[in-house]
Amino acid sequence: IMNEPEPFPKGMPGPKEQAAQKEFSSFTPRFYEKWIPSMGDKRNNKLKESITVAQQEDQDDYITWKESVEFAKRILSGDIESYYEAIQEANPFEDLTELGSGFEFGTDDPQVLEIEFAVKSETVVPKTSKSLTKTGKISEKALTKTAYYDITQDYVCSCSIRLAREIFGLLPVNMVIVHAVDSILNTSNGHLEPKTILSVAFTRKGFQNINFDNIDASDFTETFQYQMNFKKTAGFSPVNRLSL
């Protein structure tokens, strides 16, 4: 975007104005307009008015191009405020709202971005499995603890990976630190409380040449610096966050 050439030389007629001017200049009265000149005059005036409209559209296109180039320059120069603007404008996590919520971003280093999000394991991860019986009926049974927690771990890691991929595709950062937060039972008071269950520092280099269709999400996550306390029979436990 930063290297995109200007749509037309500044101060010169733009492509839309040129097209409108050409159409106006080539006006020729139609057969019936020769008999009813007022109709020809009306069409000719419309063509003339379209030149003014085209001029404004060209100017709007030029302004949009200029703003885009300046915005790209700010991002590539490491302007952190432009990072937040880019995230807000692109809204890369719009289709992830069913899998997570409360996405928060922060950084004071143009090479790193931190993301916190709340996972929705209670609503996203199934607690039962379905199968087809020999008679063609659907049988449903509860997942074992190990199966449920295994799916939960892959779900949390997958969401974290997806968040990092979106940021690497949008911003020129070299590291994305993701903090996954879930409701964990506090056995001292009996209440569910938001706790960090995964904190991982993904690097751009670590995402290169990866076939994401074939990876195991938790295995891939563990190739980076991370904090995760997970047991197959108990699931996640709170962990301390990685920090810059």
Long-range CB contacts for residues 41-50, cutoff 8 Å, separation at least 24: 47/20, 47/23, 48/24, 50/20, 50/23, 50/24
Q: Is the pLDDT of residue 102 over 90?
A: no
What angle do the packed helices 37-76 and 15-25 form, to 10 degrees? 170
Q: How far apart are CA 122 and CA 125, in angstroms?
A: 6
Strand, helix or coil for residue 116:
strand
Pairwise CA distance, residues 70 & 147, whole Å: 51
Q: Is pLDDT above 90 for 215?
A: yes
Query: How far is it, in rounded angstroms, from Cα 22 to Cα 13?
Result: 12
What is the C-alpha to C-alpha distance for residues 24 and 43, in angstroms, rounded to an integer?
10
Identify the pLDDT of residue 99.
61
Q: What is the pLDDT of residue 130?
A: 83
Q: What's the pLDDT tens digit per position in 2-16?
A: 999 999 998 889 899
What is the rounded radius of gyration, in angstroms, for the C-alpha atoms of the chain?
A: 29
pLDDT grade for 79, boundaries at 50, 70 and 90: very high
27, pLDDT greater than 70: no
**What pLDDT is recorded for position 114?**
95
CA distance 117 to 235: 18
Tell me the average pLDDT across 76-93.
Answer: 90
Reply yes or no on whether the pLDDT at 174 is more than 80.
yes
As given in the structure block, the two tokens for residue 171 are 């911003």
- Name the residue with higher pLDDT: 110 or 92: 110
Whole-number pLDDT of residue 97: 65
User: How far from each other are the two terminal CA atoms of the chain, in whole angstroms?
Assistant: 30
The yes-or-no verdict on residue 186 having pLDDT over 80 is: no
Q: Work out the burial of residue 126: count CB atoms within 10 Å of its CB; fewer than 13 is exposed, 13-18 middle, 19 or more buried.
A: exposed
184: phi then psi, degrees, rounded to nearest 5: -115, 140
- The pLDDT mean for the chain works out to 87
pLDDT tens digits, one per residue of 135-167:
788 887 888 888 888 988 999 999 999 999 999
Cα separation, 41 vs 37, whole angstroms: 6
